[in-house]
Structures are given as structure tokens and as C-alpha cells.
Chain A
């Protein structure tokens, strides 16, 4: 396979096509519009469905309808647009149909800006739509990883009849990197036993998220919970850097993880025993490896492009055994390696308090930022 220079957003679109995407429904919003733009040309060329909906609400409900037929379907948007899709996402989850949603995150809250951000972590991982529902969330840090995770997202969504979200910040969407595309997969009728694709010569099937009878809804919730346990046991993915002898563990996903890698390398060059854990699945979250690392590391540093959202999950895994410090750049700012390097140096050389909340400590250090 040859490497080609791909822009993140276009690479995501082509990777989805090659994974057998049959229908795309979306609405333009920066910084993900290239996905829509690319597919508006590519999908009709292949005789597949592309619809620019009247709004994000329309798009996600078209995804819902198309997903019920068992087709490979997706939408993509950016933060404010994804917020609009949350009701539909909950219905998709409640109906237990597979769908893929890409969120190229931008600065918020509200209209915010179009700069790179990771502030929708909690929306994607912990909430978003109403009701109890699990969802798979993948967080690529490079163009190649975005390509690889697009194919995986469809497979996982179908395997677990679940939403698979791919969250990346605007910079991964906008950057160009050499990458290899997978082979074009043929469109396959997966003959799902649940798909409502025309009841010819078979019993009628019904897909719905309505369980008027609470005991039945409880059964449905418990079914999703049991399925999630299988996902947690089998689908955790992460990448480790210099962790073998690390006394300090930096945790960062997506672009913050990449920037942290530069900082970790620089700190290693200064003799600091520091490593990096970069979660690739942020849901299921890599609790187990963090739990293990907490048994031998002396401190953690979480780096994010938000106010400390994944931080909570890291603290949950560390369970108060060692200090967990935080450095974040919210609002569409991207940290530079030097800032994270300074934090690594601080964690390495100063006694850390177990009683100061890491966000409080970070906010005090951020007081100089105007």
C-alpha cells in the first residue's frame, strides 16, 4: 500500500466509504465540513446515498431511520451541531440500532469558536442524550488513526448494536499527514435478524425505543448494561509510550496526547522518568491499565483541551492512591509542549498535595492567563 497525504476530514470520509458506508446524512459546520463536502461528491459517484439534511435534527433522524434497515450509516458534525443531535442519538441507543457519529470538536460552550477543542468529552462519554445508554467513543490522534478507527467504528457499532462515536478535535480534522487507506470493502447485506428492511416472505419486525411498561424498560436497560460489560471487557484500546519505568504517568487523548508526547520526550531527555498513556477508546475507558499504573507510579498528570473532563475518569481509576495533577487549555486553545513539560517538571520536583483538588490547583496556576 502506498502512503498518500490525506487531510483528516477527507480521510475520515474516504475511510467510511471504504468500510462500506451506504448512506450519509449531515449538515455543514466548521471544522468538519470537508467530510460532508467530500461525501457529497464521492457517495453519488458510487451510487450510494448522500443527503444534506435541512438541519442536524433532520440528519440524525435520517440516520436513525436508515440504521433501522441494517445499512451502514453515519453522520458527522461539530460541537453545536452534535448537541442538536442528542435527542436522536438517545432514540438510536434506545432502539439498539448501530450508527456512527463523528464529532470534530470546536471551542465552546454555545456558539464558541471553530478552534480545536476536547470539551465534548463528557457529552460523548458520559451523557449527551437522555436515559441510560452506553456508547463506544473512539478518539484518534492522527490521520492514520482516524482512518483505522472509522472502519472499526462501523464494526463495533454493528457487533454491539450500539452507537459508535468518533471524537477528534478540529486540528486532527484539518491536518494533513501521510496515511494508508484500507482496501475498498464491498457493500454486504449483513442480514441482521432485527433489521426492518421490508417484510417480504417473513414475519413483521418492529424497532422502537418505546417501552411503556416500566418493567420492560428495566429489562431493556439491563440488557444494554450487560452488553456494555462485554464491550468493557473486550474493546479497550490505548497506546503506551515510555511507561515501563515511568514514575510519572501523563494521560492525554487526541491532540492533547500528541502534544504530551513531545513534552514527555523532552522530559525524558532531561532524565525524568515519565511516560504517556494515550487512550484510544475513551469509552470504554482504560480503567484497568490506569489502575495497574497507579500501583507503581508516584504521580499522574492529565492533559486535556478542556476544563478537566477525562480527569474524573483517571481519578476514578487511581482511587486516591497517588496525586493526580491536571493541565488543560479550554476554549479552543491548543497547549504547546513546553507548558506540559513545565508541568512534568513541577510534578517531578515539588511535593504534591493529595488534598488540593487538581482543578483548583490548575486554576490557581492559570490565574496569569488573560
Chain B
């Protein structure tokens, strides 16, 4: 098994942490994993992204040109990764931040209003966790409980009181994406 995931968005949307949560969950479930950020000047306010590779054996390339899975939390990321996604791949799109639909028909674009869902839960900083939940609907190698455990195990102590809301964000994202998937033609 090897899965490559790119998570992209504006700096401040929690892109890097979303990837780290996946990396922790993969590690805790006994997988080999690599997390690598784009660490250029774009980290200071522009778009940020990270690549997570989850596998059962020694990982070769830490980067991927055509990922099978990606999360686009803003429009520039949607533009970029809709183009490069592997045919048949799945792109989770933060509907709250884009003003267009999908162009490609050979990939699955799943639109999730991550900002609105996060605000309904009561904290717009949960946008990234809503997106991670949505991503899990297309990543059967990791279960929601694996990611919940990862959050529990690795969230800094001062943020532990936020766990229930993070769990809710994961579940809401997952459920929304699952509904979209059920609607989509096979």
C-alpha cells in the first residue's frame, strides 16, 4: 500500500497541521510515513502545502507530481491541484473559498463547505479538521478513530480542551463528503 496526499491552502488555514495529524495517525497505526512541507517564502502568508506519503514499506520519493488524493482549502490550490491530480483521483475542495465548479470529469471533486461547518461547530480554526474528515472518506487506510487518537496523543496539552470540537469537525467533514460521494455517479 502506498498513498500520496497533498494538502494545500493559505498560510494560517492549518494546512501543515492537517498533514501532520494524518502523519501521526499513520505512524500510530504502524505505517511508514513521510510529511514534507513546501518551506519557501510562501509559508509567510501565501499558499502553503504539504505532502504526506503513507506506505507499508520504505518510502522512496517524498514528493509526488500527480497525487491520487488532495485537499484544496482555497481557490489557487483548487486551480493547481485540479490540474495535476492523477486520473481517477479525489480532490476535496473547500467550497467556502471557491467560486467555481469542477473542470475535469476524470477525477472526483468533492465540495465541502469547510468554513461554514467549522463556524457551525463554533470555531473557524477547525476548517482544516473538517477537510481532514472529508478526506478520510476517500482514504480507507485510516479510520476517523485513528485520527482522533492521533489528535489525543499529539495535540499540545494547552489545546486538549478543544478535542471534542475537533472530533466533531472530523465527523461532520466525513459525513458531508460521504453524502457527496453517494450522490456522485459511479
Q: Does A175 interact with chain B (Cβ within 8 Å)?
A: yes
**What is the 8 Å Cβ interface bit string for chain A, positions 171-198, against chain B (1 contact, 0 not)?**
1001111100000000000000000000
Known interface pairs A5-B23, A5-B35, A176-B35; A258-B65 also in contact (CB < 8 Å): no
Q: Does B63 interact with chain A (Cβ within 8 Å)?
A: yes
Q: Are B60 and A336 in contact (CB under 8 A)?
A: no
Q: Does B97 interact with chain A (Cβ within 8 Å)?
A: no
Q: Are B35 and A258 in contact (CB under 8 A)?
A: no
Q: Are A338 and B65 in contact (CB under 8 A)?
A: yes
Q: Which residue of A lies closest to B65 (CB)?
A: A336
Q: Are B39 and A177 in contact (CB under 8 A)?
A: no
Q: Which residue of B lies closest to A261 (CB)?
A: B60
Q: Are A258 and B60 in contact (CB under 8 A)?
A: yes
Q: Does A337 interact with chain B (Cβ within 8 Å)?
A: yes
Q: Are B32 and A178 in contact (CB under 8 A)?
A: yes
Among A114, A115, A178, A258, contact of B61 (Cβ-Cβ < 8 Å): A258
Q: Does B20 interact with chain A (Cβ within 8 Å)?
A: yes
Q: Are B37 and A174 in contact (CB under 8 A)?
A: yes
Among B40, B60, B62, B154, contact of A175 (Cβ-Cβ < 8 Å): B62
Least CB distance from B106 to A in Å reads: 18
Rounded to whole angstroms, the CA-CA distance of A255 and B63 in the bound complex is: 10
Rounded to whole angstroms, the CA-CA distance of A174 and B23 in the bound complex is: 14
Q: Does A62 interact with chain B (Cβ within 8 Å)?
A: no
Q: Say which size band chain A's interface belongs to.
A: 20 to 34
**What is the 8 Å Cβ interface bit string for chain B, positions 1-45, against chain A (1 contact, 0 not)?**
000000000000000000010011001000011111101110000
Q: Which residue of B lies closest to A173 (CB)?
A: B39
Q: Are A334 and B63 in contact (CB under 8 A)?
A: yes
Rounded to whole angstroms, the CA-CA distance of A178 and B40 in the bound complex is: 23
Q: Does B64 interact with chain A (Cβ within 8 Å)?
A: yes
Residues of chain A lying within 8 A (CB to CB) of residue B36: 171, 174-176
Residues of chain B lying within 8 A (CB to CB) of residue A176: 20, 23, 34-36
Residues of chain B lying within 8 A (CB to CB) of residue A261: 58, 60-61
Q: Does A61 interact with chain B (Cβ within 8 Å)?
A: no
Q: Does B59 interact with chain A (Cβ within 8 Å)?
A: yes
Residues of chain A lying within 8 A (CB to CB) of residue B20: 5, 176
Residues of chain A lying within 8 A (CB to CB) of residue B33: 5, 177-178
Q: Are B40 and A3 in contact (CB under 8 A)?
A: no
Q: Are B40 and A115 in contact (CB under 8 A)?
A: yes
Known interface pairs A5-B23, A114-B40, A115-B40; A177-B35 also in contact (CB < 8 Å): yes
Q: Are B64 and A175 in contact (CB under 8 A)?
A: no
Known interface pairs A3-B27, A175-B35, A177-B35; A255-B62 also in contact (CB < 8 Å): yes
Rounded to whole angstroms, the CA-CA distance of A230 and B59 in the bound complex is: 34
Q: Does A81 interact with chain B (Cβ within 8 Å)?
A: no
Residues of chain B lying within 8 A (CB to CB) of residue A260: 60
Rounded to whole angstroms, the CA-CA distance of A176 and B21 in the bound complex is: 12
Rounded to whole angstroms, the CA-CA distance of A171 and B39 in the bound complex is: 9
Q: Does A31 interact with chain B (Cβ within 8 Å)?
A: yes
Q: Does A124 interact with chain B (Cβ within 8 Å)?
A: no
Q: Are B23 and A31 in contact (CB under 8 A)?
A: no
Rounded to whole angstroms, the CA-CA distance of A336 and B23 in the bound complex is: 21
**What is the 8 Å Cβ interface bit string for chain A, positions 93-123, against chain B (1 contact, 0 not)?**
0000000000000000000011100000000
**What is the 8 Å Cβ interface bit string for chain B, positions 132-174, against chain A (1 contact, 0 not)?**
0000000000000000000000100000000000000000000
Rounded to whole angstroms, the CA-CA distance of A288 and B156 in the bound complex is: 49
**What is the 8 Å Cβ interface bit string for chain A, positions 113-151, against chain B (1 contact, 0 not)?**
111000000000000000000000000000000000000
Q: Does A262 interact with chain B (Cβ within 8 Å)?
A: yes
Rounded to whole angstroms, the CA-CA distance of A336 and B64 in the bound complex is: 7
Residues of chain B lying within 8 A (CB to CB) of residue A328: none
Rounded to whole angstroms, the CA-CA distance of A166 and B32 in the bound complex is: 24
Q: A176-B34, A259-B61, A263-B60 are known contacts; what are 6 more A-B pairs with Cβ within 8 Å? A: A113-B40, A171-B62, A175-B36, A258-B61, A264-B60, A336-B65
23 contacts between A and B (CB under 8 A): A5-B23, A5-B27, A5-B33, A30-B39, A113-B40, A114-B41, A115-B40, A171-B36, A171-B63, A175-B34, A175-B35, A175-B36, A175-B62, A176-B20, A176-B35, A176-B36, A177-B33, A177-B34, A177-B59, A178-B32, A258-B60, A261-B60, A336-B63
Residues of B within 8 A of A (CB): 20, 23-24, 27, 32-37, 39-41, 58-65, 154
Shortest 6 CB-CB contacts between residues of A and residues of B:
A262-B60, A261-B60, A175-B36, A176-B35, A262-B61, A178-B27
